Structure 1
């Protein structure tokens, strides 16, 4: 054949559809007389009874019930203007490297005399900034500033608090490329990952703003003769937001937005490798018009600043995203009520995951391999939702592995600020050593079928580079199949049946995300019903949830509570209250009908 491939394939498909349709000429020759087939089509149409269109019943809903939220799109870096803007933002960020970043308490810049250098994981000799480290006095000062701001902020009407989030979303959108650039330099996030992080932060602001308006517009009121009952939500007070480094903008933006829009105030402490991005976010809260003291920024070691915040008597809620180890330590700390204020604190955790994808015997391997690659090795596997395990049924195993290995072998390892990079460095030396330890452990427990060499970018840039690693025939109870590695390491486990695959799927302490690739409706329905995880995906990747579309959160040791980006998330930051009023007047309590009759 000659000619363009796409045009030729389009013509072929059109002809295929024409000749296989129920009404096609060739198909009807088997049971239709020739005279009928040769009749004028217009005459045939006139003889055929007119098709009566079905009546469509339309239901009208009240405006507050309608879903008007839309996720913002990510940047299309295939377009030259967008690439130029990102390149310019990286150059501007590099020009500002090495500056001092103070704390932000009650709108004032604060220093303590203690500093820590934030390093670029792609080039660890490159100092991103020097960040002030908080001490006990700074922690106490920040909490007291937040507590004082709470007395006035809690009285701001919900729609005005929502408007503050909408303004913050606008600021984040306006400075999208700047924020993505700082993530690339400080946190090692490649272009698309960093840009998607900004989009998610914007979504949280817009979504929680609209949810607050909806929540406030529908107070629950019940009345009987002589009595009026009202049920509503009230803010709790100071919220300690302790966020991770792997989503340095989206996660803290979501936690801060949920806290602020519900009338609480915040003391925000990001993880050490994301303190510069965290400081940018706190600065933008002020730029959006959020009053002084409502959002305060602290930096410092988690075992010092984080624990002081968790134990502080004026902190009423701790919103935490991070590792299982740290989350459980905070959980124990807040369970002990301080003697100075015996009140129960609330804990809103999201911890780790050991997420799995089941590959059924009839799975679409093209789609499955793409999803596994993205889920396992995107951002070097440094996501709580990353695909860490693949459970493959025997019939698909060999074909799947052959194609997966060849696909992963070509993945590009390099600096995060290079637009061609698929797999960036891991975050720091501690993470590098931990992941290498798991790789060596895996070689004792299973068969290493791929280990991509990352010595080239390591020699050139000196960063913490680890190439993708795949282990096959891994025992389900092996350490590498049970513990969160948080790196570009994938374990593959065989299963003989869908029942065994689901049993393996559920056989860890974690239950965050997971999925299945299958063409079998029965197996899909069985997995949907029996796989234990907060977010289950069918025939798609297990990472990349979006607010409103896929509310996110885990079960078991991955966390508890309402789902991030979901319709019931905000109530966690509130105390439900009931107010009952006796409306009797001089011994007579008229019903509504009597009042209407009296005019």
Structure 2
């Protein structure tokens, strides 16, 4: 019989303090956010739906599907799905924009991107509120997503000239297919830098969330004359246009390995320039380590946004002889992780709650992970921690089907996806090892990752072992992140294909240089020539 991950809420005893009744913070309802969108960009929002942007016009084409927020089940705008032939027309229109934009002077491009950033800054709070509703980000993290996009692109605006020296835009627009978890700091950031470098840009709205936030951001960019296209639809339906179309100059993809492998095969056959970021099982190794207070302080931070990010650490590989110390540091820390409704307050003047995460992206994802955990436990994994919902962090009677509280398992069986793949949710797994060889094998379980960390007191051990960890960034006792500005980012093995990005490398990835140039990157079977 499968174990359940739906713990019973504790029944208050006769002396328990009554739980305060929570309500939505005034002015933060989804209906309020929608009305603000209508006031800011009426051209992009109409009749309760968002529009597609292509051919420099907002169009009511596409079939809008019903959608609800993962936060509490409130109905929200769904993506207006285009069909394949319409997407082909959109890409061809983007090529026309590209041919004009690539001849616009750099000072003019800088001015238009800078004006876009000013507009994004003006509507920062609305963009963040949309992220809360559409993808469940707590307010603090939603603001950070918006701010990182704005601040990151400003860095390029201020220093773009030397990055473009001797370089030219591509022959066709850049196509962006990105995951839903960072609409601003990943997708909008990339789009604006690509346009600054002289390219028209096509982007697909993630199917799982973020459509209103992205629509507003693209509307602000389009008003400043930036050649952006934003379309919605299923990946299978639109891939012919967004990945395989001969008009495309570069494909930028952020997502899962299965879809990424399909995209990689397509661009390899076509010779299309590409940046393909895919997930990997990022691991945290513990070997001859003793600073348990420092580790304990980090554990709650590692749960930001429910580990729904490409640089999350869901796997701990722990030296067996240090396991008791590890648990003494880990378990009290994981019990402090705060989960709840991101906009629920006890009074109208109260600040929005400080949370580590809210819901997962949808109820289906929460159920999938719960089922994987239950199956792993049935097959021998040991449950070390199962978080309990705190009624004081939710609205009375709200839909909580998309919420999953932290879970920690010891030794998931090899047959479980939790043994070798990234869960993309608040599920930690722990693997015990006795030798350095076992440590490295366990840390390299997913054939390449984006980040990893090795916590060890001995710097010589770190220097000896870190080069054998197949992750692009390896930290010494501290977490690594995607990075901003001039910090490179990439991956090894199956976690990444194509050009690396960050700083000058992001510009090089979407521009043409010398004829014999080789782009830095992870090209397993071929080398890419501009």
What secondary structure does 1:199 align onto? helix
Going from structure 1 to structure 2, the CA distance change for 1:117 and 1:363 (only over 3 Å counts) comes to farther
For residues 175 and 91 of structure 2, what CA distance do their matches in structure 1 show? 9
Partner residue, 2:212: 276
Once the two structures are superposed, the pairs formed by residues 411-450 of structure 1 within 5 Å of their partners are: 411-418=337-344, 419-443=353-377, 444-450=379-385
For residues 204 and 476 of structure 1, what CA distance do their matches in structure 2 show? 40
Q: Which moved more, 1:346-355 or 1:306-315?
A: 306-315
Q: Runs of 5+ in structure 2 lacking a partner?
A: 1-24, 38-46, 345-352, 517-530
For residues 134 and 60 of structure 2, what CA distance do their matches in structure 1 show? 21
For residues 511 and 309 of structure 1, what CA distance do their matches in structure 2 show? 26
Once the two structures are superposed, the pairs formed by residues 356-367 of structure 1 within 5 Å of their partners are: 356-367=283-294
Counterpart contact for 1:371–1:542, Cα < 8 Å: no
How far the C-alpha of 1:120 sits from its partner, in A, is: 0.9
How far the C-alpha of 1:201 sits from its partner, in A, is: 0.8
- Does residue 1:516 correspond to 2:450, yes or no? no
Partner residue, 2:193: 258
- Does residue 1:492 correspond to 2:430, yes or no? yes
What secondary structure does 2:489 align onto? coil
For residues 473 and 402 of structure 1, what CA distance do their matches in structure 2 show? 18
For residues 150 and 184 of structure 1, what CA distance do their matches in structure 2 show? 33
Partner residue, 1:120: 69
Once the two structures are superposed, the pairs formed by residues 370-519 of structure 1 within 5 Å of their partners are: 370-375=297-302, 377-418=303-344, 419-443=353-377, 444-454=379-389, 457=394, 460-463=397-400, 464-474=402-412, 479-519=417-457
Q: 4+ residue stretches of structure 1 with deviation over 6 A?
A: none
Once the two structures are superposed, the pairs formed by residues 139-288 of structure 1 within 5 Å of their partners are: 139-216=87-164, 218-219=165-166, 232-272=167-207, 273-287=209-223
What secondary structure does 2:324 align onto? helix
For residues 107 and 278 of structure 2, what CA distance do their matches in structure 1 show? 32
Counterpart contact for 2:62–2:83, Cα < 8 Å: no
Counterpart contact for 1:204–1:257, Cα < 8 Å: no
- Does residue 1:352 correspond to 2:279, yes or no? yes
For residues 304 and 155 of structure 2, what CA distance do their matches in structure 1 show? 26
Counterpart contact for 1:258–1:573, Cα < 8 Å: no
Counterpart contact for 1:473–1:494, Cα < 8 Å: yes
How far the C-alpha of 1:242 sits from its partner, in A, is: 0.8
What secondary structure does 2:299 align onto? helix
- From the CA coordinates, give the structure whose radius of gyration is larger: 1
Counterpart contact for 2:448–2:492, Cα < 8 Å: yes
What secondary structure does 2:505 align onto? coil
Counterpart contact for 1:117–1:129, Cα < 8 Å: yes
Going from structure 1 to structure 2, the CA distance change for 1:467 and 1:157 (only over 3 Å counts) comes to same
How far the C-alpha of 1:486 sits from its partner, in A, is: 0.9
How far the C-alpha of 1:407 sits from its partner, in A, is: 1.9
Please report the RMSD computed on the Cα atoms of aligned residues, expressed in angstroms. Answer: 2.5
Q: Which moved more, 1:100-109 or 1:167-176?
A: 167-176
For residues 242 and 498 of structure 2, what CA distance do their matches in structure 1 show? 21
Partner residue, 2:51: 102
TM-score (norm. length: structure 1): 0.73
For residues 505 and 486 of structure 2, what CA distance do their matches in structure 1 show? 14
For residues 111 and 121 of structure 1, what CA distance do their matches in structure 2 show? 26
Partner residue, 1:65: none
For residues 406 and 427 of structure 1, what CA distance do their matches in structure 2 show? 27
For residues 28 and 115 of structure 2, what CA distance do their matches in structure 1 show? 22
- Does residue 1:539 correspond to 2:477, yes or no? yes
- Does residue 1:551 correspond to 2:488, yes or no? yes
For residues 70 and 36 of structure 2, what CA distance do their matches in structure 1 show? 17
Name which structure has the greater RCO, CA cutoff 8 Å, separation 6+: 2
For residues 504 and 131 of structure 2, what CA distance do their matches in structure 1 show? 29
Counterpart contact for 2:243–2:251, Cα < 8 Å: yes
Counterpart contact for 1:350–1:558, Cα < 8 Å: yes
For residues 438 and 552 of structure 1, what CA distance do their matches in structure 2 show? 30
What secondary structure does 1:568 align onto? helix
- Does residue 1:573 correspond to 2:510, yes or no? yes
Counterpart contact for 2:486–2:504, Cα < 8 Å: no
How far the C-alpha of 1:491 sits from its partner, in A, is: 0.5
Deviation sequence 1:472-518 (CA, Å, 0-9, x none): 24467853120121111001111224443233212322321111223
Partner residue, 1:7: none
Counterpart contact for 1:89–1:177, Cα < 8 Å: no
- Does residue 1:369 correspond to 2:293, yes or no? no
